[in-house]
Every structure is written in C-alpha cells, then in structure tokens.
Amino acid sequence: MHGPPLVAWLLVALGAATAAYCLVRARPGCPGTTRDEREEQSVARAEALMGVGMAVMAVPVSVLEQPPWAAAVLALVFGAAAVRSLLPARRSAHHLHHAVGAVAMVYMTAAMEGAGGSAHAGHGAVGAPLLTGLLLVYFAVYVLAGGVRLVSVPVASGTGAAGPAGPVAVRHAPELASACRVSMAIGMFAMLLTL
C-alpha cells in the first residue's frame, strides 16, 4: 500500500483486530445451532476474510514487498467471496455489503497491480476515478448510517445484556458486531483514499 506508513500500520492493526474478533464470533456453538446462528457465523467468517485481506493489502511495501503472484491470488479470493456473497444477498443486507466490499478489494488489488508499482512509489493516483468515487461514497454512507445505529443502541447494564437465556456473551453482542462492520468500512474508505 502506498501512503504514509503510519496510516498503513494503523490499517494493518485495524484489519487484524477486526479479523480476530470476527473469527471469535465465527466459532461454532453447540451442536444444535439454529439457522440464524449459522447465518451469523457465516457473516462473521466473511468479515474475518475481509479483515485479513485488508491487513495484508495495507502492509507497507517498504517492509514487505509482495510476490508478483500475490495480487492475482487476492483478486481470485475476493472475486470468489463476492460471488459467494451475492448468492444469499436477497436474504440479508449483510451479504450485499460483503459483496460490495469484496468487489472493492478486487478493484484495489487490480488498480495497484495495474500501476506496476508506481502507485507504491507515490507517483500518482491509480484506478478509475468514477469507480473510486462511487465506492468512497458507498463506504462513507455506510459508516455514517452504521454510526447512527450504534449511537442509538441502548446501553446494557452489568456485564452483558440480559436475554431470554441470561447474559449475552461478548462475542455475540450485536453492538460489537456492528462496531466491527463500521470500523472495517472506515478502513476500506481509508484504503480507497490512498489509491
């Protein structure tokens, strides 16, 4: 990634931390998990993949120059993730958001690879300005809407929100999952700005 090294390292930390939290959320529960729990685990796995991809793409070139085949692998992985997210998108807005995020990752990978390394040296912008602008608007709106939803979430008293079966585990707290999604959208916005 090009841009200031501090921003790159902050994006690496953000991607890695959100991926780690999403992997904790994706852990299977009891053998008799419900369809909703399996769906939430699937969403968490997709978000973990996005976090790992963001962390890998954000590593400064001065520290680790990726091999020539890395861009093709990233594009293939996120292209497959986009297709996989589109299939159940009519059931869940999360899947449509993941598809947009995966397409953005493919786009950023292709734009950086198409620059032939000149983008990493800071010799100008890469990518299609219109597509970059549309993705920036999408992620900005997503962050603002997600932030409003987070602010309007009622604060639970005690160590967890009391549900029908007792306290909710931290890994299943819906406000943390929403905060994770907002933070990854902020990271995507920042990565798009550095194109």
pLDDT tens digit string along 149-176? 888 766 555 444 444 444 456 656 778 8
pLDDT at 12: 94
Whether pTM exceeds 0.75: yes
Locus of tokens 């900005």: 140
CA atoms of 129 and 149, how far apart (whole Å) = 30
pLDDT at 154: 67
Question: How many distinct structural domains can be found in the chain?
Answer: 1
CA atoms of 133 and 1, how far apart (whole Å) = 19
Locus of tokens 């950086």: 112
Of 19, 69, 74, the C-alpha closest to 47 is 19
- Contact between residue 143 and residue 150 where contact means Cβ atoms under 8 Å apart: no
pLDDT at 88: 76
pLDDT at 120: 43
Domain that holds residue 23: 5-193
Segments of the chain with pLDDT less than 70: 1-2, 29-33, 115-126, 153-172
- Contact between residue 126 and residue 111 where contact means Cβ atoms under 8 Å apart: yes
- Contact between residue 1 and residue 56 where contact means Cβ atoms under 8 Å apart: no
